[in-house]
């Protein structure tokens, strides 16, 4: 986890250097926007590094740090590969791999942080997800790590092979919403 965040920080820093040295033909506003985006990426990867370094022995913290590291590392790695004009197939493979890892760790983090959700938490939840049986069954099924990884990998590959950017964004939205539901169930379970 520390290695992932450090690699992402190095990629972001190298890309920042490339933006200002190797892309002189890029308009100044575009270089400023890319620099701001990568600067925020660098800061968030620094947060992931600190979480890993200071609290890396606690699984919920590890899951959050890995999610942040891969989600923002994805952006840093892709921008660096783009600036270096690396083969499109390699760039696509890096994107798919880091997206799957970021999405999977995000959903797992939503199930583990700040405490591990259990089927009983979902069943006893006063939310719509706890009251409607099909939703409850699906949420309980996806509490299993292998189910999350198969879903994220399958959905990502389906989006890649479909070649439709709208479908890809819909998959991204579904992944974000799944995580939000788990975070919300955890929040409600702690409040009640």
CA distance 65 to 46: 10
What's residue 24's pLDDT?
66
Q: Answer yes or no: are the C-beta atoms of 53 and 70 closer than 8 Å.
A: no
Per residue in 108-166, pLDDT (tens digit) is 999 998 889 999 999 888 888 778 889 999 999 999 999 999 999 999 999 999 988 89
143's enclosing H/E stretch is none
Rg (the chain; Cα; Å):
18
What's residue 41's pLDDT?
82
Computed over every residue of the chain, the mean pLDDT equals 86
pLDDT at 190 over 80: no
How many CA atoms are closer than 13 Å to the CA of 122, on its beta-carbon side?
21
pLDDT at 15 over 60: yes
pLDDT at 192 over 60: no
SS3 content of the chain, % helix, strand, coil (to 5): 85, 0, 15
92's enclosing H/E stretch is helix 88-112
* Maximum Cα–Cα distance across the chain: 59
């Amino acid at each position: 986890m520390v290695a992932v965040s450090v690699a992402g920080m190095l990629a972001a820093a190298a890309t920042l250097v490339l933006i200002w040295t190797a892309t002189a033909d890029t308009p100044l506003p575009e270089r400023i926007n890319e620099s701001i985006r990568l600067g925020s990426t660098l800061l968030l990867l620094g947060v992931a590094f600190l979480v890993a370094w200071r609290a890396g022995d606690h699984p919920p913290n590890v899951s959050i740090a890995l999610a942040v590291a891969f989600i923002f590392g994805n952006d840093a790695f892709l921008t660096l590969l783009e600036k270096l004009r690396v083969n499109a197939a390699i760039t696509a493979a890096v994107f798919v791999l880091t997206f799957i890892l970021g999405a999977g760790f995000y959903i797992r983090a939503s199930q583990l942080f700040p405490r591990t959700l259990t089927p009983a938490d979902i069943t006893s939840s006063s939310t719509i997800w706890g009251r409607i049986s099909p939703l409850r069954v699906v949420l309980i099924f996806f509490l299993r790590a292998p189910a999350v990884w198969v879903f994220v990998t399958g959905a990502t590959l389906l989006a890649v092979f479909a070649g439709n950017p709208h479908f890809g964004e819909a998959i991204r939205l579904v992944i974000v919403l799944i995580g939000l539901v788990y975070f919300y169930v955890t929040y409600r379970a702690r409040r009640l």
